[in-house]
Homo-oligomer: A and B are copies of this chain.
C-alpha cells in the first residue's frame, strides 16, 4: 500500500506538505495542492485515519454503550445511530456493557485510549461520575445521566397514562402491572404515569418487578393464579407482554375477554402473535438518529435547541384489549 512518503516523493514535495493537504490545515498554494492530489489519486493512497486523528485531534470514532443485545429495542436503536453516523462520516465503536459495572468502567477507559470523539450512552450508567469526569461529549438516550448531559427519551409518563386509560375504557377493575427493575428511568416513568391514571379512577392494582431479558415465567404464572380477579395486564415492554400472553393462554384464559394485555415499544413480534398485542409505539430508530445528531452538534459546538428532548408516543390499538365505543 502507498504511504505518505510515496506520495511526497511522487509529487516532489515534503511529507509535511502532503499532510497539510490531507488534513486541510495550514497554507498550501493551489498548484502544489493539485500536484499532491494527483499523486494521491495515481498511487491510490489511503490516508491512515489514526495518524490523521493524532494531528486533527479528531478520530471520527464514536462509542455507543448499550447494556445488552437481547431485545429488539437495542437492535433498532443501534441501527438508527449507525445509519446517521455513516451519513455524517462517523464510525461506531460498539460497547456492550452487559449491565456490568466493571465492563462499563473498562469501556470508559477504552474510549479515552482510542481518542473517541464522543459517547452515546444507551445504558443505565453504573459509573456516572467517571463518565462525567471523562470530559468527553456525551448524549444519553432512553436514560438521563445528569442535568447538564443532553438526552433523548420518549414520553414514557404519557405512555403509561395512555395504557391505563385504554385498559379502563375496556372495563379494567383489577390490574397487574409487570415492570422492569424500578431503578430504570423507562420503567419508573411508565409506571408513574400508569399508576397516576389508575389511582385517579380508583382502580386497584398489584405490581411485579422482574427481569426484562429473562422474565421469571413461573413467578408471573403464580401471581396470575393467586389473583383471579386480575382482568388487565400492563407490561413495561412488548417482550414481557408477549410472555404474559403466552402464560395467560396456557392457563386457559382468553385474551382480551378474560384478561386484557397492553405492552410498550411496538416491536414487530407484537403484531405477529395471535391475538396481536395492543402497545405504545415509541420511535426507536428516530431516537438513535437524534442522539447521533445531537452528539455531532456538541462536537461542533453548535447550539442545541432542546437540551432534553422528549419524543411523542402513540397508542397502537390491536386485539389484546377490549375496544368499546
Residues of B within 8 A of A47 (CB): 113
A272 is contacted by which of B49, B79, B96, B243 (Cβ under 8 Å)?
Answer: B243
Q: How many residues of A contact B (CB 8 A)?
A: 48
CB of A43 closer than 8 Å to a CB of B: no
Assess the B115–A96 pair: CB atoms within 8 A: no
CB of A103 closer than 8 Å to a CB of B: yes
CB of A82 closer than 8 Å to a CB of B: yes
CB of A249 closer than 8 Å to a CB of B: yes
Residues of B within 8 A of A243 (CB): 272
Assess the B75–A103 pair: CB atoms within 8 A: no
Residues of B within 8 A of A96 (CB): 79, 82-83, 86
CB of A10 closer than 8 Å to a CB of B: no
CB of A259 closer than 8 Å to a CB of B: no
A94 is contacted by which of B94, B269, B272 (Cβ under 8 Å)?
Answer: B94
CB of A53 closer than 8 Å to a CB of B: yes
A273 is contacted by which of B49, B110, B112, B272 (Cβ under 8 Å)?
Answer: B272
Residues of B within 8 A of A146 (CB): none
Distance to closest chain B CB from A307 (angstroms): 26
CB of A242 closer than 8 Å to a CB of B: yes
Bitwise interface map of A from 66 to 104 toward B, beta carbon under 8 Å scored 1, else 0:
001110101110110011001000011111101000010
Residues of B within 8 A of A106 (CB): 86
Assess the A50–B115 pair: CB atoms within 8 A: yes
Assess the A48–B115 pair: CB atoms within 8 A: yes
Q: A83-B96, A86-B103 are in contact. Are A115 and B274 (CB under 8 A)?
A: no
Assess the A112–B69 pair: CB atoms within 8 A: no
A114 is contacted by which of B82, B91, B250 (Cβ under 8 Å)?
Answer: B91
Assess the A78–B69 pair: CB atoms within 8 A: yes
Assess the A114–B61 pair: CB atoms within 8 A: yes
CB of A51 closer than 8 Å to a CB of B: yes
Assess the A242–B272 pair: CB atoms within 8 A: yes
Residues of B within 8 A of A49 (CB): 110, 113-115
Residues of B within 8 A of A110 (CB): 49, 91
Assess the A59–B50 pair: CB atoms within 8 A: yes
Q: A69-B76, A76-B69, A78-B94 are in contact. Are A113 and B46 (CB under 8 A)?
A: yes
A76–B74 CA distance with the chains assembled, in angstroms: 12
A218–B92 CA distance with the chains assembled, in angstroms: 37
A75–B269 CA distance with the chains assembled, in angstroms: 15
CB of A109 closer than 8 Å to a CB of B: yes
CB of A246 closer than 8 Å to a CB of B: yes
Sample of 5 more A-B contacts, CB < 8 Å, known A47-B113, A92-B93: A50-B53, A68-B79, A83-B96, A246-B272, A246-B273
Report 11 cross-chain contacts, Cβ distance below 8 Å, ordered by A residue: A48-B114, A49-B113, A49-B114, A50-B59, A61-B114, A68-B79, A83-B96, A86-B103, A242-B269, A269-B272, A273-B273
